[in-house]
Structure 1
Amino acid sequence: MTLRSVDLRKEPVEEVLNRVERSLEVRLDQEPVVRKRRSLGARTDRGTWVRIERRGLDRIGVQGGDGTASAEALLGIAKPAWLAGVAWRDETEPVMWRADETELLPGPPVGSAVVTEDPQLSEEWWAAMNASLDALASQHTNRFATPDTETLTQELVTGTIHSVFPGGDTAVVEWRPAHADFNWANVTGPVFCVFDWEDWGMAPCGLDAANLWGASLAVPALADRVRSERRADLESRDGKLMTLFVAAKILGPYADPDDPRLGAARETAERVVKELQTG
C-alpha cells in the first residue's frame, strides 16, 4: 500500500484527538490545537501537554517511534518530563500514530524553525543550552538519529554533502547522541528547554550545533554566536562535515531562491570545504 502524503495542518483530525483523549483518559483543549505538517499538540485539563505524531511504518525502523519516551532516560538535560504515551496502527493506511503526554514547557518556543530576528537571549540561556548539549553528547544509546524521519547513516551524510559539494572525504570519525532536530522552534525562552525528541539518537559530532547555526543564518550575529558557543563541536572534523551537511540542505536542489540564508550558507560552506581539503 502506498503511503499518502498528508499535511496535518489541512486534514480533519477530530477522530484522532478523540481517540487520544479516550486512551490517555484526558481532555484536550482543542481550541486551539497546534498543527504542524506531521504532528499535533494541545494542552490538557490536567496541566500537561500532548503531542501526536503521524509517521509511516517505513519510517519507524528498529526504534519503534518512541523517541520522546526513550529520551526520559537521558540525564542532565533541560527538557519536559515524559509522563505517558499511546500508539496505534492506522486501520486504513501503513501509518503509526503516537501520542505522548509531557510536562508543560517553561515558556514559548524561541521562534519558528528559522529565525529572521535576533531573539536576544540571556547569558543564562546560552549556558543552559551548552550544559544540555554537553550532557547529551556524553551519554550512550543504541538509537540512531532520524532527521526528517530518515535514519542518519554514513551513506546519508555522504550523499547529502556530495549532492552539493562533490568529492572529498566525508567519513565520520565520532558519533554521539544528538537531538537531531535542534532549531529555534524546538527550544524555549527566556528559560532554556529543548523538546520534540522524536528523532534523537546517534549522529556525527556537531549535528545539533550545525542545525542551530543553519537556522540562524538570516541573522548573522546570531549565527556567529552559535558558532562561538559551540566552537569545539563545529571546528572538529565531524563538525565541519555537519556544517556541510546542513548547508547542502539549504543550498540543494529544493532550495528556496528567496531564502535569506543562501549567501551565508554558501560562503561558510566554501570555507569549510577548503579547510577539510587542507586539514
Structure 2
Amino acid sequence: MYSPPPSDDDAKRMAAALAHAAAALGTTIQGPQTWGWHGRTLSHRAVHPEHGACWLRLLSVPEHKAGGKLWEGTERAHTAFPTVRKSPLHALHDHIGDGYAYRTELTAYIDEPVLSPDPVLHHELDLPHVWFATIRTTLSAIAATPTDRTAVRQQWISRAVPEYTGQPAPQIQHWDCAHGDFHAANLTRGATLLDWEGWGLAPRGYDIAMLYAYAQLAPRTAAHIRREFAPLLDSAAGRTALLVVCAELLQSASRGDHPELTPKLRALVDPC
C-alpha cells in the first residue's frame, strides 16, 4: 500500500534527504508529502526557477544496494521511450548519508489526476475511446522497444505460479518490453504513464493484464478494459500473462497487501 515507512525515524530520515536534494537541485518544495509503496519512495510537488512546476521523487536504499534496475529505471526510460506520454526528466541528484544511498528525480509536474489513489481500483471509471486509443499506442511503443532490462523472470514464474495459483507454471514463449507497474495509480486521465522504475521484459500482454486484474473491484470498468483489449487478453499469450499477474498479486496479498482483491484474483485464476 502507499504509506509511510513503518519507522518514524525512517520517515524523518527520508524527509530530510528530500529537503537536501531539493536545495541541491534549486527547487522549492510545495504541498504535502506523497509516499510510495510501503514508504520506499517519497515525493513532493516543487517549483524550479527554470522548469516551473516539477515533481521531486526520492528513492532510498541501503548504501550497498545503490544502482541497478529500480535505481536507473526513470533515467533510462527518459531516452528509451521518446514517443510515450510520460513526465520529462529534468535532473537527477544522488547522495549518501547515514549508511543510505538516495536518488532524487526532478521531473515535470503532470497536472492531470491519476485514475486512482491506489493500484486497486475501487470505483468505476468512465474512460473515453480516445483514452484507450492512446493507451493502445503507448503499449505498442513500449512492447516494441529493445531492452536488456527484465521486469519478470522465468525463474520467478516457475516457482510462484504453482505456489500462489495452484496452476502449472507456463514456459513463456513471447517476451515483450513492459512498463511493469501498469495500474490505475500510475495512469492519468490524460493517458500519461507515471513511475518507470521497474520497466523491462515481461510476458506478452503483462501490462494490460495487470491493469485488468487490479480493476476487478470495479466490474464495469474491468469489463470495458477486457472489451478494448480482447484480442490480446483472450489470446494464449494474454491468458498466460494474466496467470502470471495473478500469481504476483496473490504473492503480494500473502504479505498483507490488498486483501480485498484476493477473492477476485482467485476467480481469475481458474479460467486462465
Q: Normalized against structure 2, the TM-score is what?
A: 0.85
Judging by fraction of residues, say which structure has more helix: 2
Q: Are 1:24 and 2:32 an aligned pair?
A: no
Q: Of 126, 149, 159, which aligns to 1:120?
A: 126
Matched residues in 1 for 2:219 and 2:186: separation? 20
| Residue 155 in structure 1 maps to residue 129 in structure 2 | no
Quote the residue 1:219 is aligned against: 218
Aligned-partner Cα distance in 2 for 1:168–1:14: 45
What is the Cα deviation at residue 179 of structure 1?
0.8
1:105 is aligned with what amino acid?
Answer: I
Provide the residue aligned with 2:56 in structure 1: 50
Q: CA deviation at 1:161?
A: 0.7
* Residue aligned with 2:71, SS: coil
Determine if contact 1:75/1:135 at 8 Å carries over to the other structure: no
Please say if residues 8 and 39 of structure 1, whose CA atoms lie closer than 8 Å, have aligned partners that are also in contact. no
Match runs of 1:198-237 below 5 Å: 198-237=197-236
Are positions 1:79 and 2:83 aligned together?
no
1:85, distance to aligned residue in structure 2 (A): 0.8
The one-letter amino acid of 1:84's match is: A
Cα deviations by residue, 1:89-110 (Å, 9 ceiling, x for unpaired): 4432xx4321111111130211
Equivalent residues of 1:106, 1:188 under 8 A apart: no
* Aligned-pair CA distance for 1:64: 6.7
Q: How does 1:1-279 map to 2 (within 5 A)?
A: 7=5, 10=8, 11-12=11-12, 13-29=14-30, 31-36=31-36, 37-46=39-48, 47-56=53-62, 62-63=68-69, 65-73=71-79, 74-92=81-99, 95-111=100-116, 112-145=118-151, 152-166=152-166, 168-189=168-189, 191-252=190-251, 254=254, 259-272=259-272
Structure 2 Cα separation of the partners of residues 263 and 57 of structure 1: 39
Structure 2: which 5+ residue stretches go unaligned?
A: none
Unaligned runs of at least 5 residues, structure 1: 1-5, 146-151, 273-279
**Identity within the alignment, %:** 23
- Please name the residue that 1:277 is paired with: none
Cα deviation 1:164-217 (Å, max 9, x = unaligned): 23452411111111111111111111x110011011111111111111011100
Q: What whole-Å deviation, never above 9, does each CA across 1:116-162 have from its counterpart, x for those lacking one?
A: 111211221111111111111111111112xxxxxx21011122211
Q: Show the counterpart of 1:275.
A: none
Partners of 1:116 and 1:218 within 8 A in 2: yes
C-alpha deviation, 1:113, in angstroms: 0.9
- The C-alpha deviation readout for 1:250-273, integer Å capped at 9, x for no partner, is 44571769844333322221011x
Q: Tell me, yes or no, if the aligned pair for 1:85 and 1:99 is still in contact at 8 Å.
A: yes
Write the letter of the residue equivalent to 2:201: M
Q: How many aligned residue pairs are there? A: 257
RMSD: 2.5
**Bigger mean CA offset, 125-134 vs 61-70:** 61-70
Separation in 1 of the partners of 2:63 and 2:158?
25
Deviation of 1:229 after TM superposition, in Å, equals 2.1
State the match for 1:148 in structure 2.
Answer: none
